[in-house]
Structure 1
Amino acid sequence: MLTDIEISHRAPEPKEYNALRVSAGLSPKDLEGARTGLQNSIFAVVLRDPSKQLIAMGRIVGDGGCFYQVVDIAVDPAYQGKGYGKLIMAELMGYLDNTAPKDSYVSLIADVPADGLYKQYGFEYTSPKSVGMFKRY
């Protein structure tokens, strides 16, 4: 139930971050890289259950002026389908609506079928004008 969940804007610790990523089907990150990345978040939304267990999160990263990227949208499988993804996106979009300068660019890489969630918040496919690309180290 949503009322039993604690919402904070403090990024989680790297170990719990990795545990949530893995449980949600995402890849784990190097702990030092995670520590640096989490500390440098522009904005984070963290959901915890009554026992303070991390159950969901999302972040915004970027330069804070021209470019923003929505990352790390993850919900523990035991809590999926209960509206937590929408709650995270609503918090993130509220932040952007109130702080992102005019003409800033907000992007994300969507796993299917999560793209349906992001479309509800106004995100559009970049294709065919552009395509997402990445390089992993």
Structure 2
Amino acid sequence: MAPRLALEVPAADEYRALRSAAGLSAMSAEAAATGLPASWCSVCVREGDELIGMGRVVGDGGLFLFVVDIAVAPAWQGQGWGRRIMQALMDEVHARAPSRAMIGLIAEGTAFEFYQQFGFRLVAPAAHGMLLRLS
């Protein structure tokens, strides 16, 4: 069965497992259970019932949105699923977000090159992304 992409929110346990498998930082079960239902938009890629890719947009829905959780299981990387996930999210952003909304993301390493194809631009030196991780 070919993988299918759909607008849906992953379950907290599969979300946490895919983040870990894809090399993203761990999230607590409590945080996932609270945060996932509040997603502005969420995309899942499944092979059968197995979550093999995902991405989300979070934010207030009007002024600020933030792309997060772009993840593809290692066995499926390099096959264009990340691009399809981002395109689905950006299709939703362009269809639903109001004009002048600010869409942000944090790109690690050279991942900024991937996101540039979707219209994202580096903001440094005029601005710098910052992050506070609670322990």
Same fold (TM over 0.5): yes
The letter of the residue matching 2:15 is Y
Q: Where does residue 21 of structure 1 map in the other structure?
A: 19
Please list every run of at least 4 consecutive aligned residues from structure 1 whose deviation after the TM superposition is greater than 6 angstroms: none
The letter of the residue matching 1:47 is V
Q: Aligned partners of 1:8 and 1:91: how far apart in 2? A: 9
Output one character per residue of 1:81-133: Cα deviation in whole Å (capped at 9) or x when no partner.
Answer: 00000100110010011111111100000122322210110100010010010
Q: Where does residue 75 of structure 1 map in the other structure?
A: 72
Q: Aligned partners of 1:35 and 1:99: how far apart in 2? A: 25
Q: Where does residue 118 of structure 2 map in the other structure?
A: 121
* RMSD of aligned alpha carbons: 1.1
Output one character per residue of 1:18-72: Cα deviation in whole Å (capped at 9) or x when no partner.
Answer: 110011010110101111110000000000013x110000000000001000000
Q: Aligned partners of 1:15 and 1:114: how far apart in 2? A: 26
CA contact (8 A) 2:112 2:122 kept: no
Structure 1: 5+ residue stretches without partners = none
What TM-score, normalized to structure 2?
0.95
- Could you say what secondary structure the match of 1:4 adopts? coil
Q: Aligned partners of 2:92 and 2:99: how far apart in 1? A: 14
- Could you say what secondary structure the match of 2:39 adopts? coil
Identity value in percent: 44
What is the correspondence of 1:19-98 to structure 2 with a 5 Å cutoff? 19-50=17-48, 52-98=49-95
What is the correspondence of 1:98-117 to structure 2 with a 5 Å cutoff? 98-117=95-114
Q: Aligned partners of 1:111 and 1:78: how far apart in 2? A: 21
Structure 2: 5+ residue stretches without partners = none
How many residues get paired? Answer: 134
Q: Aligned partners of 2:14 and 2:103: how far apart in 1? A: 26
- Could you say what secondary structure the match of 2:68 adopts? strand
CA contact (8 A) 2:54 2:72 kept: yes
CA-CA distance at 1:9 after TM superposition: 1.5
What TM-score, normalized to structure 1?
0.94
The letter of the residue matching 2:133 is R
